[in-house]
Structure 1
Amino acid sequence: MLAQLAITGLLVALFPLTIVWASKDSNKYRKLIAVTLFLTFDLIVFGAFTRLTDSGLGCPDWPGCYGQANPFQAHSEIRAAESLMPTGPVTLVKAWIEMIHRYIAMSVGVLVSSMMVIAWWRRASMRFSPRLPTALFVLVLVQGAFGKWTVTMKLQPIIVTIHLLLALCILSLLVWAWMRETPFESFALPRWLRQISSIAMIVLLLQVALGGWVSTNYAALACHDYPTCNGQLIPELDVQHAYALWRELGKTLDGDFIPHSALVTIHWVHRSFAWVVFIVLGITVALARRSPELKQLANGVGLILFCQFLSGVATIYFSWPLTIAVLHNAGAAALVLLLSMLNYRVRSSAKSIFQ
């Protein structure tokens, strides 16, 4: 079974590796990073789709599906489980969604491994040390462990949330690896842009963690209106149960069912902190737009930020439709990607002025 899974991961990775090999780019290593970055972004979005369709336990074991390499081979076990519970968590469709997610993850692992091997093999002639691709390789291994625990620990919220944050860290580091292979000219920086861009990234990652906590606790519909929450500007809050981290899905630390007020708290904190994100990222965009070299990138951050607001509100008024929810998760990943690019450009500039 493990051999079949490994072969499947290699076959899925063969297509992006072929793109790199056939590329006319003179820097094929940079092309490999770009393709890996693209596939990692897709994996994050598909991971959101997997989570939002409740397919995380579509195959209740790991790394295979009922001890098999694919749902075809486990068809009888899946159908037996589906006959007992027709809506899941195990159905044939959900099993395929979960396994496709794992296959893509394995292919990303192959690509990152290739990056590390090439970086060490060519370390004497490369501009940078192989430490970053090595760190990426280690992070991918850790991410794989959290992928396993997501299944074996039955979607425990803290495990799933960390799994999401690690994916975004990998995305950000891939951006950094790709950007440093691309030469840029130095340019003048608006005042305080170095500091505010770092703060913006920290604030964004905190908001992503809060959003992941909403999703993994199934609290997206705890408030059914906006800007009020169930008709209240500040609803009854239950912080103690809402942010008890090490607990089962849907349970309190004592093993009781989590109260609705805790779910409301999780939802309300995420939507309230969004205003902090808008202010900090808005200031970052305004400062970055003052530099011609960063204007296009800043406009992209501003556009995605505005779309995030619309998709966030739409998920409430349209009762969390799947397409909008996936787009909301994709928007968060896009913001991390663009802010990572902005932070790199700011820090790679050799010249800074204070206006």
Structure 2
Amino acid sequence: MAIQRLIKFTLVFTLAVILMGAYTRLSDAGLGCPDWPGCYGHLAVPSASHDLANIESRFPDAQIEPEKAWLEMIHRYIAGTLGLMVLAILIMCLKQPQAPKKLPVFIAVLIVFQAALGMWTVTMKLMPVVVMAHLIGGFSLFALLLLLYLRLKPLRIPGGDTYARKLIPLALASLGVLVIQIILGGWTSSNYAALACTTLPICEGNWVDNLRFADAFSPFQGDHPSFEFGVLDYATRMTIHVSHRIWAVVTAITLIVLALKLRYAQSHIMRNSGYLLLLLVIAQVGLGISNVVMNLPLGIAVSHNGGAALLLLTLVFINYALWRKA
């Protein structure tokens, strides 16, 4: 069906938006344009001399960096295109009698809220709780689009019902553990804590005595002109980083256990899902270690975001398949 093809393309496009958002954030281009939705009042990054002179009077404290500004605007362009695609999906679902109605409506509401979060990210000068919410919204949109696709495409997995029911609690727990890890990763990134620890396996120095959980996970960080490059002290950022790293171990173990158990499923679809999950976990752990060892290279850091998104999609599929199978 046309709607299924559109959703598949939208899923790929959503992943591109997530990666572009990560690239923009990690390139410190989140405030490349200090206003919204345009850039210094223009639909594109201004370059004409008279425009630049006008900008200097309107934004006296701004320093125009064309490369960062274009990164931010390209992210906005493709995010806006994604919004139009979601709108098209909603219209098609509403017109098709047998298609779900509540889920596409919720997805449409979510992307409108995502646009608002994108605006607040700029107007609130990269406030960490807003930046993290924007990231989680993108991941949620990715997962819900897959769920909509699966509901439109009948999933038939023969045999193994008893075994599948036994794996449902573990699959749900794995999804919950991964969601927590994604949130921790978003909080680590939005607080510029990715390089707070530069050694393995945990952190350098007497890190245990410097843990500050109350400060590390408080959404209220005071009133600041800008949150770019972070406002927290080292001990607080270190606490965030350590929490993300320790929970990464919990996440990896949980997901690997599920992947290994799926090897014994009667359905080849479930077995292949287990193998894919195992491969993604190994790759994601490798990317995480590389981020530490190589001091957060841009390509690897962006890939780490993409790996998390693909892990989420895989676990959403596994949980849906197990529930349908049961």
Q: Structure 1 length normalisation: TM-score?
A: 0.83
* Contact 2:191 2:237 (8 Å CA) reproduced: yes
Q: Judge which range, 191-200 or 214-223, deviates more.
A: 191-200
1:163 to 134, 151, 158: 134
Identical aligned pairs, as a percentage?
Answer: 35
* Contact 1:78 1:90 (8 Å CA) reproduced: no
Mapped partners of 2:200, 2:94: distance in 1: 52
* Contact 1:66 1:77 (8 Å CA) reproduced: no
* Contact 2:157 2:269 (8 Å CA) reproduced: no
1:209-256 CA-to-partner distances (Å, cap 9, x unmatched) read 1011110110111111000301457352111221111225989xxxx9
Distance 1:282 1:341, change over 3 A: same
Mapped partners of 2:91, 2:257: distance in 1: 40
User: Is 2:186 the counterpart of 1:215?
Assistant: no
* Contact 1:79 1:91 (8 Å CA) reproduced: no
What are the residue-to-residue correspondences of 1:305-344 with 2, within 5 Å? Answer: 305-344=281-320
Please provide the CA RMSD for this pair: 2.5
Residue 257 of structure 2 corresponds to: 283
Mapped partners of 2:233, 2:36: distance in 1: 31
* Contact 2:284 2:307 (8 Å CA) reproduced: yes
Q: Structure 2 length normalisation: TM-score?
A: 0.90
What are the residue-to-residue correspondences of 1:259-298 with 2, within 5 Å? Answer: 259-291=233-265, 292-298=268-274
Give the gaps of 5 or more residues in structure 1: 1-26
User: Is 2:34 the counterpart of 1:60?
Assistant: yes
1:188-211 CA-to-partner distances (Å, cap 9, x unmatched) read 242521111111111111101101
Mapped partners of 2:311, 2:54: distance in 1: 40
What are the residue-to-residue correspondences of 1:1-355 with 2, within 5 Å? Answer: 27-72=1-46, 76-77=51-52, 90-123=64-97, 126=98, 128-187=99-158, 188-189=160-161, 190=163, 191-232=165-206, 234=208, 236-247=210-221, 257-291=231-265, 292-349=268-325, 352=326
Distance apart, 1:289 and its partner CA: 2.1
Distance 1:36 1:78, change over 3 A: farther
| 3-state SS of 1:234 partner | helix
* Contact 1:158 1:213 (8 Å CA) reproduced: yes
In the alignment of these two chains, the number of paired residues is 314
Mapped partners of 1:332, 1:122: distance in 2: 33
Mapped partners of 2:53, 2:240: distance in 1: 34
Mapped partners of 1:319, 1:103: distance in 2: 30
Ranked by relative contact order (alpha carbons within 8 Å, sequence separation 6 or more), the top structure is 2
